[in-house]
Structure 1
Amino acid sequence: MLSRRGLMAAAGLWPIAQLRAAGAQPASPQAATLKIGLLPFGTVAWEAAVIKAEGIDAAEGLSLEGVRLAGSDAARIAFQGGQVDTIVSDLLWAARLRAEGRAVKFLPYSSTEGALMVAGDSPLRSVADLAGKRLGVAGGPLDKNWLLLRARAREQDGLDLEREARPVFGAPPLLMRKLEAGELDAGLLYWTFCARLEARGFRRLIGADGIAASFGVEGPIALLGYVFDEALLQRAPQTVAGFARASSRAKRALAAGEAAWAPVRPLMAAEDEATYATLKRAFLEGIPRRKASAERADAERLYAVLARLGGERLVGAATTLPEGLYWDGGPNG
């Protein structure tokens, strides 16, 4: 059973301010405030907790303020309405905004993605084995991992998953429970749910990275990133640069050892040590480490595939990644 504190943290109700370590210094009164959107169960709260607990924001001359939001749709609305300065969102959404005239920048956050999960003793060994099987898909018919899995199955196995499997779309927690209960044969789920299942003996049939590799992608792509307006970059370049450094420092602290995870552990709602370990490992594996040029080249390859598969409903009118989408660290983006 989770403690009351753990339940509050898991629900996004534990204020970041209360996670500040005793030795951390508060930001100066002159420090610029940067508002960041936080989602229930979202890993951005993990990074924000480290930034606050270790006083990294104060050291970078800013004050990070977490704004709790109900879900991804609420986060996007809050960002577009100016209630928050930045959120972590999908590369496709950021690209679509920029292509439609909203001058946004994308700062890679994580390359950790979901996977197709099956029970440890499942007879399924390959994507080709999904014919006729009950397949849960997190999100909807335009979920990027579902589109890519369908394309891979069609091109490599001659299998039309939409017609020859039995896909069911739904919320990840519900699909995870159905997979555990044996009501589904496989589940294409987001990474935090995959990690929890792995801790319970489930295994990956194929990961999102393996699916992407089928389309010529050469390395991990951060399909999740911080999105912020160019207007903020023009108005407060040092604040954005300080936040980018703070994010990087927090990730390095988490990769360096166990101590930095102390304020994060209550937010993870990890039922046991195995779940904690798998969540931690998956988060660390997703830390972006590639050069921006290599990252963008692979992202362009994958974007072209998704534009072909999902069309305008998925990516809007742009068939290629918009120029200037990635933030290069300079005051002009």
Structure 2
Amino acid sequence: MSIESQQAALDDLHDEPGELPVMRARFEHNGSPRYMLYTIKRFGLDREHDFHLDVQLVSDALEGGMETVEARLQDGEADLIDIDYISTARERSDGAEIVAIHPYGRTVGGLVAPEDTDIDGLEDLPDRRIGVVRRLDKNWILTRAACREFHDFDPDDEATPVEAGSKVRLTEMIHGDEVDAVLQFWPIVPEITETGPYREVLPVSELVQRLSGTSNRLPISTFLTSEQFLESSPETVRRYNAAYRDAVDRLVTDDEIWEEIGAALMTYDDPEIVRAVRDGWRDMVVREWDKETIEGMEHLFTSLLDVAGAEALGVKEIPEGTFRLEP
């Protein structure tokens, strides 16, 4: 579904901010946070918590090596985005004044291949062309780390990663038989597997748990704001966090809102796809975090660093102040 049609559905739910403090949310048009953003606007959860959430969807293309949402935040055109915490650490190490203010979820993807493929696991990746959004994408880094840890090879050397540049292009690549498999983001996996002769070979969330060494559900992506916005509007950040938790509570219990979301925001409104995305979202989302959660995220980072190295991650450590439990 186009950015324009999805934005129109969100615009129908927007009201005037009046005297309320405004938080500018800029999120990818094919990313799963839009389901939560729609729910906040649909039920007025931002107004209920005394702030105005201004939601605009943007492309997932790259601008100067960064995803569009990152560029918006760093250019001062957004107050709220989501990216994975490895990218957050990388950008913060490079001087970006960004900070993680709340967990989102296990936003990784899945290895998808044609149904008749003989790719059944990581051990089958050598000599294959694997589509990725970009080589620094978390799905590829996690796959590399797992292959090196559990199978003694690096697919960056023994397979051929093919950068698509966007999630949309990645889907086009597997449909066009340009690659043998793709590492696609989880909300798009059902759209591929339910509408064509494709199957999910392996969910990357399994690799997260194996590499982290814990059964705790760890968020890979977090919500970010700028240091400037956090300093000037900490109460607005806290109000957003409360609205997010309320939206999560509704989305994990209310099946009917997912039917509405399917019609308004998803490319396919097939009930089976909508239910698959709904169930995947519920399994993915993280409502809260605490010190133990942060320690688990740091442990996973260390595991990835030990296996894949700083060059693959693009960063050698998580900078101090990256995570803020209490905005």
TM-score normalised by structure 2 residue count: 0.85
CA distance in 2, matches of 1:105, 1:159: 33
Are 2:39 and 1:42 equivalent residues in the alignment? Answer: no
Distance 2:35 2:187 in 1: 13
Query: Aligned letter for 2:90?
Result: R
| One-letter amino acid of the structure 1 residue matched with residue 12 of structure 2 | Q
The residue that corresponds to 1:257 in the other structure is 254
Is the CA contact 1:307–1:315 (under 8 Å) kept in the aligned structure 2?
no
CA distance in 2, matches of 1:313, 1:131: 18
2:64 corresponds to: none
Q: Provide the C-alpha distance between the structure 1 equivalents of 2:123 and 2:231, rounded to a whole number of angstroms.
A: 50
TM-fit CA distance, 1:288: 0.3
Cα gap change, 1:180 to 1:60, in 2 (>3 Å): same
CA 1:63–1:199 in 2, change beyond 3 Å: closer, same or farther? same
CA distance in 2, matches of 1:93, 1:162: 19
Larger Rg: 1
Please state how far the C-alpha of 1:92 moved relative to its aligned partner: 1.9
Residue 64 of structure 1: how far off its partner (Å): 1.0
| RMSD of aligned Cα (Å) | 2.7
Query: Unaligned 5+ residue runs, structure 1?
Result: 1-5, 21-25
Check if 1:209 corresponds to 2:205: yes
Contact 1:117–1:205 at 8 Å: present in 2 too? Answer: yes
2:89 matches 1:89: no
1:99-136 per-position Cα deviation (integer Å, ceiling 9, x unaligned): 45525233111213111112334332222122333322
Alpha-carbon separation, structure 2, partners of 1:68 and 1:257? 24
- Equivalence map 1:216-255=2 (5 Å): 216-218=212-214, 219-255=216-252
In structure 2, the partner of 1:152 is: 146
Structure 2: 5+ residue runs without aligned partners? 62-66
Structure 2: distance between partners of 1:232 and 1:288: 23
Q: Is the 8 A contact 1:91 1:223 kept in 2?
A: yes
Higher mean Cα deviation, 190-199 or 151-160? 151-160
Distance 1:154 1:189 in 2: 21
Task: Output aligned runs, 1:282-301, within 5 Å.
Answer: 282-289=280-287, 291-301=289-299
Specify which of 57, 70, 81 is matched with residue 68 of structure 1: 57
Paired amino acid for 1:122: T
SS across alignment from 1:14? helix
Query: Contact 2:24–2:80 (CA<8 Å) still a contact in 1?
Result: yes
* Aligned twin of 2:267: 269
Tell me which moved more, 229-238 or 185-194.
229-238
Q: Does 1:174 align with 2:169?
A: yes
Q: Is the 8 A contact 1:127 1:205 kept in 2?
A: no
* Number of residue-to-residue matches in the alignment: 316
State whether residues 17 and 52 of structure 1, in contact with CA within 8 Å, keep that contact through their aligned partners in structure 2. Answer: no
- Which one is further off, 65-74 or 35-44? 65-74
SS of the residue 2:188 aligns to: helix
- Give deviations 1:7-34, integer Å, cap 9, x for gaps: 4555x432523036xxxxx677321111
Identity of aligned residues (%): 22
Go from structure 1 to structure 2 and tell me whether the alpha carbon gap of 1:195 and 1:153 turns closer, same or farther (over 3 Å shift). Answer: same
Pick from 113, 120, 131 the counterpart of residue 115 of structure 2. 120
Question: How far apart in 2 are the matches of 1:206 and 1:234?
Answer: 41
In structure 1, distance between residues paired with 2:32 and 2:239: 20
TM-score by length of 1: 0.83
